Amino acid sequence: MEAFMVLGFEGIIREALKIFFKNKILMACLTLLILSFNSVFFLYNCHSIKPFESDLFLKLGLLPYTKPKTSEYFSLLTALKEDIRAYVVLEWIFILISIVPSLFLSTATVIAPAFIHGRNFLSFREMLWSTLSSLKRPSFTYFYETLLSFGYIFLVLANLVPFLLLVRDPIALTVLVLMIVILASVVYIYLEVTWSLGFIVSVLEEKSGSEAIGKAAKIVKGRRLHGFLLNLVFRILSLVIYVGAMLVNQIKAGTVNPVIIGLFVTIVVSLVDMLRLMAYTILYYQCKKNHGEEVELPWRKGYSKVGSSLPLVNIENNGP
């Protein structure tokens, strides 16, 4: 049984990678669009916050050499608070500005492989139009998922605070916090299976919000382990990329421009996230097939139905 599930997971990854070669022009244009936006946005963000960072680090460096309880010390603290406030506000502005284009690109990353996997031709212009026409549904679902994520984080922190107050030994406290964080992360990855699939449902079906997530919870039965493995692998891969970049930045400090490292991480993580969405689109097809349902793309009703007879990832043949 375990070998059966793992092979099915590998089949999803292989099928997602094949999408790139089934419509090379469309996928190349989409990939270039995603990498261009993320790279330009990252570089503009770095350029905009650099003056704030330089001023902030300069004042932090002066703080230990300023006598406490003097007017200069309190003036420096006030200036530091203003810089931190401006930095946080600017970062939040960038995050809010990036939400709409990021949702647009994520939606397009679902639509393109859905058409390709369903053996339907899709031009780049048609992909853009289909994305614009369906952007409202995944946007609402994304907002709903964000509320669920914040609710889960708040719940974890609420249960973590009592341990921080009761446990006095620093080593025991560190071990306990680490265990709770790991357990909470695993549970979050498990819950995110339904949330991520709900996003796919909201793109490919005329459902959104709780309705899309509810439909995802219904069809993912029997394939939840596949989704968990997908989430786990892609989250670990992204974590390894970030940690590796931090280590390189520390080891090669002064010899490698941190912006170059950050740009490289942005490009690689963008590709990883793109592959994750494509894999979840394949998982959506598998879940629909498992429940005997047809995939009917909402933009081309009448000839875009994909029945269960189409050659999807055949998990049954992946047995030991």
CB 270 within 8 A of CB 34: yes
Two structure tokens written together for 306? 């994909």
- Residue 3 reports pLDDT greater than 90: no
- Amino acid in position 191: L
Q: What is the dihedral of CA 207, 211, 214, 216, to 10 degrees?
A: 10
Residue 298 — very low, low, confident or very high, per pLDDT cuts 50/70/90? Answer: low
Give the Cα separation of 38 and 42 in Å (integer).
6
The least confident of 9-13, 143-147, 271-275 is 9-13
pLDDT of residue 91: 79
Cα of 185 vs its chain's centroid, Å: 14
Residue 273 — very low, low, confident or very high, per pLDDT cuts 50/70/90? Answer: very high
Alpha helices in 167-208 (DSSP H): 170-204
- Residue 54 reports pLDDT greater than 80: no
Two structure tokens written together for 18? 């094949």
Three-state SS at 306: strand
CB 265 within 8 A of CB 245: yes
- Residue 288 reports pLDDT greater than 50: yes
- Amino acid in position 46: C
CB 257 within 8 A of CB 37: no
State the pTM of this model: 0.80
For 189-228, write each residue's pLDDT tens digit: 999 999 999 999 999 888 888 899 999 999 988 888 888 9
Give the Cα separation of 280 and 270 in Å (integer).
15
Query: Which of 222, 232, 239 is CA-nearest to residue 283?
Result: 222
For 119-176, write each residue's pLDDT tens digit: 777 788 888 888 988 889 999 999 999 999 999 999 988 888 887 777 777 787 888 8
Q: What residue has token string 């289909």?
A: 130
pLDDT of residue 46: 80
